Structure formats: C-alpha cells, structure tokens
Amino acid sequence: MKRGRWILPGDSAARLIDGVGLAKLIRGEIAADVAVLRGSGVTPGLTVVLVGDDAASAVYVGAKEKASREAGMAGETIRLPSATTQAQLLALVEQLNADASVHGILVQMPLPSHIDPDTVIRHIDPAKDVDGFHPINVGKLLIGHTDGFAPCTPSGVQRMLTHYGVETRGADCVVIGRSTIVGKPMAALMVQAGAGADATVTICHSRTRNLGDHTRRADILIVAAGRPRMVTADMVKPGAVVIDVGMNRIPDASTKSGTRLVGDVDFEGVRQVASLITPVPGGVGPMTIAMLLRNTVRSAQRTLVA
C-alpha cells in the first residue's frame, strides 16, 4: 500500500484511509516477529477474559482470538459466567500474572455491574496490560515514556496518520471525546515530541461551547464521541484529515438486521470537504486488533532480554 498524498481543497472527494489493508500489513509484520520469537523458544501468548454473555463482546473477543492464532500466537479466551464474583475474577487475573506463557492479559469490557472495572485493571500486571489501561501505563504515556503500552485504538490511529504521510508536526489536532479509552490517550499521543505527533491538541467534549469553532480549525480531526453522524461537513476545514472512531448502530429497515453501522461523522457529506477520511466500518476498527497483537508481541520480546 502506497502512502497517501495530501488532497487539496477543490478535489472532488477525500481519499479513503484503508484500515483493513493497513491492519493486514501490520499483522504480516507481526507474524514475521512471532516466527523469530518462536525460533527463540518463545510463543507470544494473549489471554482474553470474557465475563457474561454480552453478544457484541463475544463477537469482538472471537475476532481477537482468531487474529492472534493467524499470526502464530497462542490465543486463548477464558469465558466466565455473569455470576462470577469480583474476588473470583481477581484470583484468575493473579494466576495469569504469574503464568510465564501469558504475555498479554485483556479483560473484556463491559463487566457485569457487580464488578468494578478499575479494580480489575489495577490488578493486571502492567507488563502484561496490552490494553494500556493500567495507571502505570497511562502515566508513562502522559510523560512520554515509550516502555509502557499505549491503548490500542489511539495507537492504531497514530499509525494510520504516519502510514498515509500526514504531517502532524505543528498541525492543529482536535479530538472530540474525553474517554480514558480513546480521547484522553489520543490527545496524549499527539502532543508528544516525535514522529506522528508534535501536534497542537485541543480536546472537545459534551460541555464544549461552540464546537464547530474548534473543529473548523483542525488540520486533523479525530472523532470519538459515540454520537452517530454528529460531525457534519460545515464543521470541517477544507482539506482536513478526518478520523472517525465512532461505531454506532442506527435503524435501517432496508437491511436484514434492521440496523446499520455508522460513525460519529456524516461520512457522505464530510468526504466532500476532507482530504483523507476513514470509513465506518473498515477504518479504525481493524487497527485496534492489530495494535493489540503488536503490544502482545512487544511484551513477549521483552522476555528475551529480561
């Protein structure tokens, strides 16, 4: 896949950022790294813990397990009933922390309401926290240390920007959304010194006044608000790069399921203004799993020099 070019205002439509193709490229790189590790006697192991029977989580977990096995990794999913207690889940996490064959631990969210997700995350060994949610990894990201793990979705977005040749240095980057999963770590990545970063970052959220005044300044607009098609063409600077992290199901009687998947951006309108844009689906989503595998391989590589 060739690096993208900047499209000047006046071109008919934005070029699509192909998340599926880029994720496939990254997973090929990962498979090569896994082969080297296996030659040294180390098979990267990712264990995903799924508590309860949330249908969407089950589909996502299955995709993670399938991707890890395709890369030559040891991928395991531990499925627990929704009645599992917090103490039982924490005991399992401690077992996985102590298991040398497990290099990455991911407890799938959301958890049943009687289990506190922050407590669970804090019990995961930061060296195996390939989701990048442990406070130690969050702190390392904020201060610019690269020996921790950054959350997978923001990491995937940054890889997209660098792969497509987007100039981030000195660019105005606006992030809509302040979640600890995407918005805050995305801003933290983009403001660091170095390649794919060095941007001037603004975080917008549900209490931001005059949102369009901020978004129309953005050279790079990253939207992770969880509101379907909230960003419209009049809110986007001509020639901007638009990354849509949203995944929303809306009613659609024309489909078999009665719903369809859309992002946080009005795709058809915004693509007439932007220079580059991610589709939904097929944009950011595949990159999240690819970066999860990348983090797990990094964890396994560290065992060779520990």
Q: Running DSSP on this structure, what letter comes out for residue 9?
A: B
Q: Among this protein's residues, is 272 annotated catalytic?
A: no
SS3 track for 13-69: CCEECCHHHHHHHHHHHHHHHHHHHHHCCCCCEEEEEEECCCHHHHHHHHHHHHHHH
Q: Among this protein's residues, is 131 annotated catalytic?
A: yes
Q: Active-site residue among 18, 129, 131, 264?
A: 131
Q: Active-site residue among 64, 140, 184, 237?
A: 64
Q: Running DSSP on this structure, what letter comes out for residue 276?
A: E
Please list the alpha-helical segments (H only) found in the chain.
19-39, 55-70, 86-98, 117-123, 135-143, 152-163, 183-191, 211-215, 267-270, 284-302
Which residues make Cβ contacts (< 8 Å) with residue 297, sequence separation at least 6?
30, 33, 34, 37, 44, 73, 103
Q: Among this protein's residues, is 192 annotated catalytic?
A: no
Q: Active-site residue among 33, 108, 192, 266?
A: 108
**Which sequence positions are flagged as catalytic?**
64, 108, 131
